[in-house]
Amino acid sequence: MNTSYEVKNLDKITHSIRANQLIYQFGVGAMINFPDQVLMCAAPEYWETDVTQIHDKRLENRLGVEYFGLPISLEGDEGMHRMSYVRFPQWYYCPKCKRLKPMDEWVKEYRIKASDAEKEKDPYMVKNPHCPSCGKYSKLVVSRLVTICEHGHINDFPWIAWAHKRSKDKICYHPQLKIYTMGTGRYGFDNILIKCENCGASSTLSGIMDKEVFEKLDSKDDPQFLCPGNHPWKHAKEGCDCYPRVALRGASSVYFPIVKTSLVIPPFTTDFNELIQTTDAYDRGFRVYCKAKEKNRGEDRIREAIEDTAEAIVQELHDEKINEDDVKNQLKRNWLDIGDNIDEDTDEDQLFREEEYDALDGEAANANESNFFKREEQEIGPYQETIPSLKQVVLIHKMREVQALIGFSRINPISGPDDEEHFVCVKEPGTNWYPGYQVLGEGIFIRFDEEQIESWISQYGEKLSARADIIKNNYENSFYATSSTEHITIKFLFLHSFAHALIRQLSFECGYSIASLRERIYCDKGDGTGKVMTGLFIYTANGDSEGTLGGLVRQGYRETLPDIIKKAIEKARYCTNDPVCSLSQGQGLYSTNLAACHSCLLLPETSCEHFNAFLDRGVLIGTMEEPDIGFFSKGFDTYSNK
């Protein structure tokens, strides 16, 4: 048994995590600090527990999987889920005897010195990692340092090579490391000494956080510090020709999850759709569909499967009210995403948003026909008396959101799997599911008057475009500019910045914390392709199996929402960091924000779908230099239609 990659029989209470943690900070490939040790969440293929299958046909079709999986919850606590882990980091030290070595060597020593009773109870020291020589009360301490590279690899810090870096000879035959605190008035890493007791080689940790520390140390003839290319979470190793960076184990740069989310909307939530999916014929047809997609057999084979499956479903149900054409149309929505309008050049993300937009604004078929999607459109007149630029307000009393963890990156966040060099997929190609979870929530959908937005842009277009161009250029000049800047339009900056201002104010009014609220921006690219969209959806998805308590929806009625919007805009006019914030030419992630900082617009990262980037108060309320260019600079009725 390799103790590096197998950790069993851990306490089910202390070593379990919540579903939302599985998708975000403690996902596959991330390290988790448990009370007794640090473990890494293993790949889905290693999960020993059965998973609860979660379905959302739109997201399944988009990602090419059959379902999303969540480990079964613990008995008596539906919020906690038991996972499979691997042991990483591997290096531990004993604070009493100062020895520093990999866990495999600690376990070998334990197997020699432990009593038979101890070995029977905990054969591989997974429940109580301790120093076998100093006793069970001398707990081993895991290394604080790891190395990460831009290709998503993560490795233990090269302790042996580092201790011998100043040695004229090569690394000794049997290195025995100890870690000391020098206590000579130094501080931080300069005060820590790593010494090999076998040969006497030693080195402090001074300079380990320098960006190119390994490049400077390495010899061209005998490189010792290249990235080993490890993926410990799936027990895999691959070649890598870059030098890694040293990072603290808990640093934010160690793990950036890539999560795809989907609102489960009509017609995918209708009773009719749920009925046909209960049939055996649907299951058989879906397997044919999955094989066709996997082998790239094309749309013709999928359409053939739809014809055969629809006929079989009608025969199986034996219901005169079930029409074969209706079944075919539903299968097209499920398996072809957009029915008959398939175009290889179409932006898949944009189509995904357009479907949700149609469901939220009521244009989709059967928009109100679902147990998991309940909408209530409001009469817009009373809202427009205060905020004339509003075109539509819809209260979503019940909605279902599915989130899937598809991959991650290290060192810097990336846009998604298109960045093949830095994207790490959490599953193997043959695995037909991603880790995911679902939750019921509520929300407020707001649509602005497109004509008023266009009128504002035409009036101040040159000055507004200059601000948008600054953000675009800053992003394009950044090291990780992997996605297109087509979506960074003036209208998008307005909708995104407005959503942040509104979320900050709503959290004061509805009782939810800011971290519990999320945004979803619906904005077209402005190039004439696709559906014109000018809306945003603020929602919460932190409820239980029955949903939430209605605190957010209650703020969407005409008696409260207009005043909340006014307060949000008024607060956005002032920032404690002004004039520095207002005059900024680039701040935040990759300098992709202008007048936006933690004091005025930024949100917790889980609330923003764009990593707190592409924000600017200037498009809302103007700037100190150009006070009139903001949409709300002169009040709330500046751009009313006349």
Averaged pLDDT, 202-228:
84
pLDDT at residue 121 in the model:
87
pLDDT tens, residue by residue, 459-505: 998 999 999 999 999 988 876 565 666 688 999 999 999 999 999 99
pTM, to two decimals: 0.82
pLDDT tens, residue by residue, 570-586: 999 999 999 999 999 99
Structure tokens at 546: 């029955």
pLDDT, mean over the chain: 85
Q: Is 490 inside any structural domain?
A: no
Q: What are the DSSP calls for 254-280, one per residue?
A: G-EEEEEEEEE-TTTTSHHHHHHTTSH
pLDDT at residue 341 in the model:
40
Q: Is 390 inside any structural domain?
A: no
Pairing of strands 202-204, 192-196: antiparallel
Q: Are 582 and 602 in contact (CB under 8 A)?
A: no
Q: Is 617 inside any structural domain?
A: no
Three-state secondary-structure class, residue 204:
strand
Could you tell me which of 161, 166, 164, 176 has the C-alpha nearest to residue 227?
161
Q: Could you tell me if 200 and 304 lie in one domain?
A: no
pLDDT at residue 107 in the model:
93
pLDDT tens, residue by residue, 365-415: 555 556 678 889 999 999 999 999 999 999 999 888 899 999 999 998 887
Q: Which residue has the higher pLDDT, 421 or 629?
A: 629
Q: Could you tell me if 316 and 207 lie in one domain?
A: no
pLDDT at residue 28 in the model:
94
Q: Is 469 inside any structural domain?
A: no
Domain-terminating residue out of 201, 225, 254: 254
Could you tell me which of 485, 498, 475, 478 has the C-alpha nearest to residue 592?
475
Domain-terminating residue out of 341, 364, 395: 341
Q: Is 170 inside any structural domain?
A: yes
What's the sign of the alpha-carbon dihedral 273, 274, 275, 276?
A: positive
Three-state secondary-structure class, residue 51:
strand
Q: Could you tell me if 70 and 186 lie in one domain?
A: yes
3, pLDDT greater than 50 = no
426, pLDDT greater than 60 = yes
Averaged pLDDT, 334-362:
68
Three-state secondary-structure class, residue 92:
strand
Averaged pLDDT, 430-445:
90
Averaged pLDDT, 95-120:
92
Residues 622 and 632: their CA atoms lie apart, in Å, by 8
Could you tell me which of 442, 430, 438 has the C-alpha nearest to residue 55?
438
Residues 31 and 35: their CA atoms lie apart, in Å, by 13
Phi-psi bin for 385: left (phi > 0), alpha (psi -120 to 50), beta?
alpha
Residues 47 and 13: their CA atoms lie apart, in Å, by 17
Structure tokens at 141: 């301490």
Residues 579 and 639: their CA atoms lie apart, in Å, by 27
Q: Could you tell me if 153 and 236 lie in one domain?
A: yes
Q: Could you tell me if 87 and 229 lie in one domain?
A: yes
Q: Could you tell me if 283 and 155 lie in one domain?
A: no
pLDDT at residue 343 in the model:
42
Cα separations (Å) of 215 from 182, 212, 227, 241, 333? 27, 5, 11, 12, 53
Q: Could you tell me if 155 and 237 lie in one domain?
A: yes
Structure tokens at 631: 């949409």
Q: Could you tell me if 47 and 170 lie in one domain?
A: yes
pLDDT at residue 638 in the model:
55
Q: Is 432 inside any structural domain?
A: no
Structure tokens at 282: 């649907």
Instruction: Give, for 108, the enclosing helix (H) or strand (E).
Output: helix 103-113
pLDDT at residue 131 in the model:
94
- Which of 229-238, 340-349, 438-447 is predicted least confidently? 340-349
Domain-terminating residue out of 341, 374, 390: 341
Q: Could you tell me if 175 and 222 lie in one domain?
A: yes
Counting every residue written for the chain, the total comes to 642
pLDDT at residue 548 in the model:
60
pLDDT at residue 345 in the model:
45
Output b/e per residue, 622-634; b: 16+ Cβ within 10 A. bbeeeeebbbbbe
Residues 529 and 332: their CA atoms lie apart, in Å, by 23
Residues 487 and 493: their CA atoms lie apart, in Å, by 9
350: number of Cβ within 10 Å: 18
Q: Is 434 inside any structural domain?
A: no
pLDDT tens, residue by residue, 507-534: 988 888 898 899 999 999 877 777 899 9
Determine the structural domain holding residue 295 and report its residue range. 272-341
What is the count of structural domains for the chain? 3
Q: Could you tell me if 206 and 292 lie in one domain?
A: no
pLDDT at residue 58 in the model:
83
Q: Is 599 inside any structural domain?
A: no
Could you tell me which of 444, 461, 453 has the C-alpha nearest to residue 506?
444
- Percent pLDDT > 70 in the chain is 85
Q: Could you tell me if 31 and 179 lie in one domain?
A: yes
438, pLDDT greater than 90 = no
pLDDT at residue 305 in the model:
85
Q: Could you tell me if 155 and 232 lie in one domain?
A: yes
550, pLDDT greater than 90 = no
Tell me the residue type at 100: L
